[in-house]
């Protein structure tokens, strides 16, 4: 049987995409997806997309968001 160090060493030797698959699989064992929560997030995402498309809300670029965060926390 492999120990934790052996498993980590073996995983580190995998290509990046396979390491991502291993990580994703392990995370799912810790935090099992909930269909109810997924449905609620899908509803929120669709609502926000509709608001953007209708012009009800204005999108802010990622650069602008990060600049505001930096400004706020650099004080």
Mean pLDDT of all residues in the chain?
Answer: 93
Average pLDDT over residues 37-52: 96
Query: What would the pLDDT profile of 45-56 be if each residue is shown by its tens digit?
Result: 999 999 999 999
User: Global pTM?
Assistant: 0.52
Using CA atoms, how far residue 1 sits from 7, 8, 18, 46, in Å, is 10, 13, 21, 47
Average pLDDT over residues 31-55: 94
Residue 75 pLDDT greater than 80, yes or no: no
Residue 67 pLDDT greater than 70, yes or no: yes
60: left (phi over 0), alpha (psi -120 to 50) or beta: beta
End-to-end alpha-carbon separation of the chain, Å? 53
Q: Over 51-62, what HEC string results?
A: HHHHCCCCCCCH
| Structure confidence at residue 33 (pLDDT) | 80
CA distance 74 to 72: 6
Domain ranges of the chain: 1-32, 34-75
């Amino acid at each position: 049987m492999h120990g934790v160090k052996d498993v980590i060493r073996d995983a580190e030797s995998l290509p990046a995409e396979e390491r991502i698959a291993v990580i994703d699989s392990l995370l799912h064992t810790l935090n099992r997806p909930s269909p109810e929560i997924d449905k609620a997030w899908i509803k929120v995402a669709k609502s926000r997309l509709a608001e953007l498309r209708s012009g009800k809300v204005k999108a802010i670029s990622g650069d602008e968001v990060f600049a505001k965060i930096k400004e706020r926390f650099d004080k």
